[in-house]
């Protein structure tokens, strides 16, 4: 079982490394309506063999505003269909002896892992090899245990009335609890297939276990989403609602639905071991793994066909259950996208970190806006209140830098693609420079406060105009930076940022010369001129930090100091 879970994880992560960015673009582009969203979720999940990965990508897009919650629900519905491919792979592995495929896959995989160009294919083959080897081992072990002939096991399952509704509910609950404990629906599905195909577990109880697995796997994602933001919790709740609703309606047509699936696969439900003999009975029971896979697929397809028409109603329901929290942003420092429970794969974790950095940059621009307000504030009470907010923002920016850096450090411990390693290096540089922008804003606030508290002479009108003009240029640079952080770098013109930097530098040089002249002409005191130039110089430094962030995001080399 351990090898099975490790093989599934390795295979899924290798596929995501090979096609991660492309899959994200597909998810973003192919969800124009509920049907394309559902098909996209199906194909992406079938490709990466992980409904969790698809759900996580979808939730991150909802957070970023690239997808609506309604579109996300359609993708999650598709992910439920796509994940049924796993059951078919496992049923084939348990029904047939596939152990001969494992060792060639190991051999080729190990060779490719040490070749830089093909190492992700090597990782994928390595995962496949573990998966196949685990299935072959489970199959052999299941046969050697002779579960179908073990009287203790048979008596245990016989103690449940196969025609009782309560038996179905007991096994449904058991499937949910087992999946929640093992944290892998694939593992519980493999156990169910072995028990059924050996003749130990009757088909109706086996299918009740599969239904429980569908609910158990969503409980895990809901617990993980508890530490996430509102939209993530809503998406996880929609996933739970989807599966719970499916289980409820299928309980009303349980026997006829199961019988129809058995007929589809060619399994004879009425076959009695005592009448036909052990050999024929076991040959019939060998088809049970395919019955379970077929039921899993039919259940999710029919459930999606019903619920896809009610996506707006599901959206309203989850929004009603999980209401948005209204909190003061300054009082509520926490990372919105990075959550410990959702760190599943490195490729997706980098996407989450990018969005967190985007929010970090927006918060810093708001901080700069407060500094501009502080400059013109005359009322002492309001001045102190605004200054306290800027101080709080400075503390938040320090915390955000450390938390994001810590998260990226954890991600970098994993086996990463070269592209992802380069992204992490760039992101570490980005957060360092954004935090420096926060320091520059705080330095400006302290300079303004020093002037205010020291009761220095006021700036003359000309000085105010120059400071406002410099701050306007700096704010334009910050706006350009945030446009890049929130969009695609291919569409960004870096020359606009560099032109703004040159304009800021030239203006600073011009004001520096003019300041000396104005002091000599006694237009204001030397002390006022020093404070004035401190503000101008901090704006110029801030502009340099902005350029550094932009260059890091664009993948350009760091300039020498």
Domains along the chain with CATH numbers: 2-321 (no CATH), 351-554 (1.20.58.220)
CA proximity to 397, closest of 341, 440, 354: 440
Share the mean pLDDT of the chain.
80
CA distances for 332 relative to 133, 214, 326, 442, 470, angstroms: 49, 35, 10, 20, 32
**DSSP 8-state symbol, 323:** P
Place of tokens 């991600």: 411
Stretch (H or E) spanning 133? helix 119-145
Residue 87 has a pLDDT of: 78
Say whether pLDDT at 340 is over 60: no
Question: Residue 500: CB partners within 8 Å, gap ≥ 6?
Answer: 473, 476, 477, 480, 543
Confidence of residue 561 (pLDDT cuts 50, 70, 90): very low
Instruction: Count CB-CB contacts under 10 A for residue 464.
Output: 14
Instruction: Count CB-CB contacts under 10 A for residue 25.
Output: 11
Is the pLDDT higher at 124 or at 368? 368
Residue 267 has a pLDDT of: 74
CA proximity to 102, closest of 58, 141, 134: 134
* C-alpha 300, offset from chain centre: 23
Rank 45-54, 183-192, 253-262, 469-478 by mean pLDDT and report only the highest: 469-478
Is the pLDDT higher at 4 or at 386? 386
pTM above 0.75, yes or no: no
Q: Can you tell me the mean pLDDT for 544-555?
A: 91
Residue 217 has a pLDDT of: 76
DSSP-assigned letters across all residues of 364-376: HHHHHHHHHHHHH
Q: Can you tell me the mean pLDDT for 413-426?
A: 79
Confidence of residue 37 (pLDDT cuts 50, 70, 90): confident
| Cα–Cα dist 177/165, whole Å | 19
Q: Using the CB atoms, write b or e for 531-546: b if 16+ within 10 Å.
A: bbbbbbbbbbbbbbbb
Residue 49 has a pLDDT of: 63
Residue 193 has a pLDDT of: 79
Tokens matching residue 62: 């909802």
Say whether pLDDT at 341 is over 50: no
Lowest mean per-residue pLDDT among 122-126, 280-284, 482-486: 280-284
Q: Can you tell me the mean pLDDT for 307-314?
A: 89
Is the pLDDT higher at 145 or at 427? 427
Give yes or no for a contact between 389 and 462, defined as CB atoms under 8 angstroms apart.
no
Q: Can you tell me the mean pLDDT for 190-208?
A: 79
Say whether pLDDT at 545 is over 90: yes
Residue 560 has a pLDDT of: 41
Percent of the chain beyond pLDDT 70? 78
SS3 string of 172-221? HHHHHHHHHHHCCHHHHHHHHHHHHHCCCCCHHHHHHHHHHHHHHHHHHH
Confidence of residue 149 (pLDDT cuts 50, 70, 90): low
pLDDT in tens, 57-105: 676 666 555 677 888 888 888 888 887 887 787 777 766 666 677 788 8
Q: Can you tell me the mean pLDDT for 127-147?
A: 76
Q: Can you tell me the mean pLDDT for 231-256?
A: 85
């Amino acid at each position: 079982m351990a090898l099975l879970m490790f093989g599934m994880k390795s295979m899924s992560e290798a596929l995501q490394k090979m096609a991660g960015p492309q899959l994200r673009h597909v998810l973003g582009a192919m969800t124009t309506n509920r049907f394309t969203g559902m098909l996209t979720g199906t194909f992406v999940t079938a490709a990466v063999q992980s409904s969790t990965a698809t759900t996580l990508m979808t939730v991150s897009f909802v957070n970023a505003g690239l997808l609506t919650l309604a579109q996300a629900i359609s993708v999650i519905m598709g992910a439920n269909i796509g994940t049924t491919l796993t059951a078919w792979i496992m049923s084939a592995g348990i029904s047939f002896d596939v152990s001969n495929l494992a060792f060639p896959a190991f051999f080729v995989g190990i060779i490719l892992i040490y070749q830089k160009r093909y190492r992700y294919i090597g990782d994928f083959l390595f995962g496949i090899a573990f998966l196949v080897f685990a299935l072959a081992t489970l199959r052999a072990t299941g046969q050697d245990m002779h579960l179908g002939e073990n009287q203790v096991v048979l008596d245990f399952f016989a103690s449940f009335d196969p025609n009782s509704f309560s038996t179905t509910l007991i096994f449904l609950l058991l499937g949910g609890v087992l999946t929640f404990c093992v944290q892998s629906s694939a593992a519980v599905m493999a156990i169910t297939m072995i028990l059924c195909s050996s003749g130990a577990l009757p088909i109706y109880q086996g299918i009740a276990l599969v239904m429980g697995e569908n609910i158990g796997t969503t409980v895990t994602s809901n617990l993980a989403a508890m530490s996430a933001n509102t939209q993530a919790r809503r998406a996880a709740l929609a996933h739970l609602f989807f599966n719970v609703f499916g289980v409820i309606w299928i309980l009303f047509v349980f026997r006829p639905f199961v019988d129809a699936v058995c007929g589809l696969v060619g399994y004879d439900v009425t076959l009695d071991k005592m009448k036909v003999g052990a050999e024929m009975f076991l040959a019939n029971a060998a088809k049970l793994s395919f019955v379970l896979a077929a039921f899993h697929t039919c259940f999710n397809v029919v459930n999606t066909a019903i619920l896809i028409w009610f996506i707006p109603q599901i959206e309203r329901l989850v929004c009603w259950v999980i209401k948005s929290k209204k909190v003061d942003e300054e009082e509520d420092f926490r990372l919105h996208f990075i959550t410990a429970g959702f760190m599943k794969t490195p490729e997706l974790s980098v996407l989450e970190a990018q969005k967190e950095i985007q929010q970090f940059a927006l918060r810093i621009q708001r901080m700069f806006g407060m500094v501009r307000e502080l400059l013109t504030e005359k009322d002492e009470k309001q001045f102190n209140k605004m200054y306290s907010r800027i101080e709080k923002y400075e503390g938040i920016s320090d915390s955000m830098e450390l938390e994001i850096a810590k998260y990226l450090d954890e991600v970098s411990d994993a086996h990463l693609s070269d592209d992802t390693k380069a992204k992490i290096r760039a992101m570490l540089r980005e957060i360092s420079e954004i935090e420096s922008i926060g320091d520059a804003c705080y330095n400006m606030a302290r300079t303004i406060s020093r002037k205010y508290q020291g009761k220095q002479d006021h700036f003359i009108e000309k000085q105010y105009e120059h400071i406002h003009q410099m701050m306007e240029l700096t704010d334009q640079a910050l706006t350009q930076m945030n446009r890049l952080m929130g969009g695609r770098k291919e569409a960004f013109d870096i020359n606009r940022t560099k032109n703004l930097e040159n304009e800021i530098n030239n203006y600073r040089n011009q004001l520096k010369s003019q300041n000396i002249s104005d002091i000599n002409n006694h237009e204001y005191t030397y002390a006022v001129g020093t404070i004035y130039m401190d503000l101008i110089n901090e704006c110029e430094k801030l502009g340099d930090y902005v350029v550094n962030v932009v260059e890091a995001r664009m993948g350009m080399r760091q300039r020498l100091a």
